[in-house]
Amino acid sequence: MYGEAVALGAGTVLNALATGVGSAFAIDAETTARVELDDSGTVEGAIAGAPDGDTRLIRRCVERVVDRFGDGQGGHVRTESDVPMAAGLKSSSAAANATVLATLSALDVSVGDDAELDREAACRIGVAAARDAGVTVTGAFDDASASMLGGVTVTDNAADDLLAREAVDWDALVWTPPARAFSADADVARCERVAPMADLVAELALDGRYGEAMTVNGLAFSAALGFPTDPAVEAMPHADGVSLSGTGPSVVAVGDRDGLERVRDHWNQREGDTWLTTTRTDGARVIE
């Protein structure tokens, strides 16, 4: 029994650590999961390019799907990704979504609007697995829903409730410094101190003012998490919105390509990787 699926990375509009409400948007960076099930009863995992990588999340995704739809199968899951790990670009959510869909495919469980399981429900399996594995503080339904559904989403992560989703067509610029930051290590108490700003960001996002929401979020959470605001300030004259993505360290700007190319000139002078991409509205998918 074999299944293969792809899910998307994402950037942040609103970090959910302060209030539990979050917002994210899918970008054109993919994670692929390949799952082969057998009768071993145990699940093994591997991450391409990271032989010592933590596979708890992807193994738990397989286990949760098998617990619900299978018959005690074990097997092997392997992921490979364009999304850098621990960079704030939702690599864990993308890996979870891809693994869940690949495992469902291996079990011949259909996913879709008129299928046995819709994509929101499939996404929640990965969110639950992320909580089990301890790789997230909030459950990250905002990140996971953007990765799974595409477009921009606003969610209540405490209830795993999708508050809004909109298809958006943006160019995006990503700067990822060499340092890495794991979401589970974020200082939640400091993030909770910027809750009034997070409430404002949520209002802006639910009103469709995503660029303004991103910029307020980026300044507030950069301060809370100890990241410099200089990259955001450099982008503000040329971008519609710019934010620290997730718990960092990546910074993501959106806007028109000409403006983002000006931002890229600034960010290229910084250590790390800078790359232009676009949003995606199609979300995760099974590879037949």
- 86 annotated ligand binder: yes
Domain layout of the chain by residue ranges? 2-168, 171-278
- 3 annotated ligand binder: no
- 235 annotated ligand binder: no
Q: What is the reported pTM?
A: 0.95
The percentage of the chain sitting over the pLDDT mark of 70, rounded to a whole number, equals 98
Does the structure show a pLDDT above 90 at 182? no
Q: In this predicted model, what pLDDT tens digit does every residue of 4-54 receive, in sequence order?
A: 999 999 999 999 999 999 999 999 999 999 999 999 999 999 999 999 889
- 90 annotated ligand binder: yes
- 148 annotated ligand binder: no
- 237 annotated ligand binder: no
Q: In this predicted model, what pLDDT tens digit does every residue of 220-270 receive, in sequence order?
A: 999 999 999 999 999 999 999 999 999 999 999 999 999 999 999 999 999
Does the structure show a pLDDT above 80 at 108? yes
CATH of domain 2-168: 3.30.230.10
- 92 annotated ligand binder: yes
Among the listed residues 64, 63, 45, the one whose alpha carbon sits nearest the alpha carbon of residue 54: 45
- 145 annotated ligand binder: no
Q: In this predicted model, what pLDDT tens digit does every residue of 184-224 receive, in sequence order?
A: 667 889 999 999 999 999 999 999 999 999 999 999 999 99
- 178 annotated ligand binder: no
- 115 annotated ligand binder: no
- 91 annotated ligand binder: yes
pLDDT band at 138 (very low <50, low <70, confident <90, very high): confident
Q: Which CATH architecture has domain 171-278?
A: 2-Layer Sandwich (3.30)
Dihedral, CA atoms, 166, 169, 171, 176, nearest 10 degrees? 30
Pull the structure tokens for residue 65. Answer: 């799907």
Does the structure show a pLDDT above 80 at 151? yes
